[in-house]
């Protein structure tokens, strides 16, 4: 057994469990309304693990649950898999949305907009959650009506690290790394308040960007000190693409969270973005096509144009000023001009 695991259990899990069981006792004697949950599951192109995910949803011990499936791309194989999942869980609690392929962030946003629950649990098609996850979330919510966000511990499959015990969130920590599992639960009102998932990131790191907005906007957070789900690593997982291009993806997160960054941090991120791989460049081009009103993919293409020896006139004489104006951050503008000098 690794010493780090023992340390985390003693220093993080044990104190949090004391607080959790105290909260559970408080919830048991309070007469408060049961919270409602919507589990949002985006699916793309033959999700072979979906039925296992659906089974974990069906086995939830909590009953006030809606399940929203989003077929991102309208693939027949995905439609068939979702149909089997709906039959397994029950048609009366399921909603199915179909949309052109726009990426996981846009799929999550579409599902959440249709969600009836007060609380959202985003669940990837290849992950599973423990049968008592929502029961334990509900206990925390009923004991603390002001909580906005609940983050559990997570297990991992097919990766080197076998478990994930999140560190307590601070502004510096969340800006440095993604602290929480993607299936952490949050109030729909909180998602609305911060503007939802940003759809521009080409490497599927949108959950980190959302969590940054949660922390930096003062969301009230509670730890759920149990392993409440499993994240699966496999060759089709978007995380593998992100790891191949980690420096670039992290730099893009820096630009998306520009209001909490220094000009120097932004400048350094621009150099990392300018060196994006051809794989990332193609993905950024796709984002420009899908979301022409979002200025960040265009900004990233402009940064890459310097490495590719392309003139910024390729974008049109007014594009640079327009993009920087739409972002509306003096630090981004100053860093961009320093980069191009």
Q: Find the mean pLDDT for residues 148-161.
A: 82
Residue 316's pLDDT is what? 57
Tokens of 289: 């096509």
Q: Please, which pLDDT band fits residue 2 given cuts at 50, 70 and 90? A: low
- Side-chain-side CA neighbours of 180 within 13 Å: the count stands at 31
Q: Find the mean pLDDT for residues 10-39.
A: 76
Looking up tokens 């940064």 gives 303
Residue 158's pLDDT is what? 58
CA distance 249 to 241: 10
CA distance 154 to 130: 10
Residue 163's pLDDT is what? 81
Residues 190-221: b if buried by 16+ CB within 10 A, e if exposed: bbeebebbbbbbbbbbbbbbbbbbbbbeebeb
C-alpha pair distances (Å), 239 with each of 6, 21, 135, 203: 27, 34, 29, 8
Is the pLDDT assigned to residue 280 strictly greater than 60? yes
- Give the whole-number percent of the chain exceeding pLDDT 90: 72
Q: Is residue 224 a contact partner of residue 153, using CB atoms and an 8 Å limit?
A: yes
Q: Please, which pLDDT band fits residue 220 given cuts at 50, 70 and 90? A: very high
Rg (CA), the chain: 21
Residue 223's pLDDT is what? 96
Mean pLDDT estimate for the chain: 89
Q: Find the mean pLDDT for residues 154-173.
A: 82
Q: Is residue 182 a contact partner of residue 122, using CB atoms and an 8 Å limit?
A: yes
Is the pLDDT assigned to residue 159 strictly greater than 80? no
Decide which of 306 and 170 is more confident.
170
The torsion region of residue 74 among left (phi > 0), alpha (psi -120 to 50) and beta comes to left
Residue 160's pLDDT is what? 60
CA distance 336 to 327: 12
Decide which of 239 and 206 is more confident.
206
Q: Which of 97-101, 220-224, 319-323 has the least mean pLDDT?
A: 319-323
Decide which of 302 and 149 is more confident.
149
> Quick one: DSSP state of residue 33?
P
By CB neighbour count within 10 A (0-12 exposed, 13-18 middle, 19+ buried), where does 172 fall? exposed
Tokens of 145: 């009506």
Q: Which of 253-267, 276-290, 316-330 has the least mean pLDDT?
A: 316-330
Whether this model's pTM surpasses 0.85: yes
Which of 285, 303, 297 has its CA nearest to residue 339? Answer: 303
Is the pLDDT assigned to residue 86 strictly greater than 60? yes
Residue 31's pLDDT is what? 61
Q: Please, which pLDDT band fits residue 225 given cuts at 50, 70 and 90? A: very high
- Cβ neighbors of 39 (< 8 A, separation 6 or more) are 57, 65, 66, 67, 68, 121, 122, 123
Q: Is residue 27 a contact partner of residue 142, using CB atoms and an 8 Å limit?
A: yes
Looking up tokens 């460049």 gives 281
- Give the whole-number percent of the chain exceeding pLDDT 70: 87
Q: Please, which pLDDT band fits residue 3 given cuts at 50, 70 and 90? A: low
The secondary element (H helix, E strand) that includes residue 222 is strand 221-232
Is the pLDDT assigned to residue 22 strictly greater than 80? no
Note the pLDDT tens digit of each residue in 301-321.
999 987 665 545 456 556 888
Q: Find the mean pLDDT for residues 121-138.
A: 95
CA distance 302 to 314: 9
Q: Please, which pLDDT band fits residue 61 given cuts at 50, 70 and 90? A: very high
DSSP letters for 61-108:
S---EEEEEEEET--HHHHHHHHHHHHHH-GGGEEEEEE----HHHHH
Q: Please, which pLDDT band fits residue 25 given cuts at 50, 70 and 90? A: low
DSSP letters for 8-24:
HIIIIIHHHHHHHHHHH
Is the pLDDT assigned to residue 186 strictly greater than 70? yes
C-alpha pair distances (Å), 245 with each of 225, 240, 250, 291: 31, 9, 9, 22
- Side-chain-side CA neighbours of 74 within 13 Å: the count stands at 3
Is the pLDDT assigned to residue 29 strictly greater than 80? no
Q: Find the mean pLDDT for residues 173-199.
A: 97
CB atoms inside a 10 Å sphere around CB 55: 14
Q: Is residue 190 a contact partner of residue 148, using CB atoms and an 8 Å limit?
A: yes
Is the pLDDT assigned to residue 175 strictly greater than 60? yes
Q: Find the mean pLDDT for residues 279-290.
A: 94
């Amino acid at each position: 057994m690794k010493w780090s695991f023992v340390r985390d259990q003693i220093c993080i899990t044990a104190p949090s469990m004391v607080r959790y069981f105290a909260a559970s006792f408080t919830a048991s004697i309070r007469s408060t309304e049961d919270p409602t949950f919507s589990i949002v599951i985006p699916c793309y192109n033959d999700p072979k693990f979906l039925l296992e995910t659906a089974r974990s949803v069906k086995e939830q011990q909590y009953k006030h649950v809606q399940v929203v499936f989003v077929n991102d791309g309208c693939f027949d194989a995905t439609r068939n898999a979702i149909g089997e999942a709906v039959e397994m869980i029950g048609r009366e609690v399921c909603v199915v949305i179909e949309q052109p392929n726009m990426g996981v962030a846009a799929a999550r946003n579409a599902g959440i907009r249709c969600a009836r629950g007060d609380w959202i649990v985003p669940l990837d098609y290849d992950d599973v959650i423990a049968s008592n996850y929502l029961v334990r979330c509900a206990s925390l919510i009923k004991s603390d009506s002001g909580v906005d966000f609940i983050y559990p511990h997570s297990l991992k499959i097919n990766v080197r690290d076998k478990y994930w015990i999140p560190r307590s969130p601070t502004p510096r920590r969340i800006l440095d790394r993604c602290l929480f599992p993607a299936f952490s639960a949050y109030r729909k009102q909180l998602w609305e308040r911060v503007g939802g998932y940003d759809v521009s990131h080409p490497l599927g790191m949108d959950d980190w960007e959302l969590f940054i907005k949660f922390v930096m906007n003062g969301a009230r957070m509670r730890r759920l000190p149990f392993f409440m789900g499993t994240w699966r690593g496999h060759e089709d997982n978007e995380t593998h693409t992100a790891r191949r291009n980690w420096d670039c993806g992290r730099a893009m997160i820096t630009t998306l969270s520009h209001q909490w960054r220094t000009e120097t941090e932004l400048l350094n991120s621009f150099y990392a973005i300018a060196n994006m791989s051809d794989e990332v460049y193609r993905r950024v081009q796709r984002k420009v096509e899908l979301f022409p009103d979002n200025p960040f993919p265009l900004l990233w293409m402009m940064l890459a144009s310097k490495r590719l020896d392309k003139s910024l006139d390729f974008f049109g004489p007014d594009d640079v000023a327009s993009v920087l104006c739409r972002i509306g951050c003096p630090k981004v503008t100053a860093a961009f001009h320093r980069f191009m000098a």
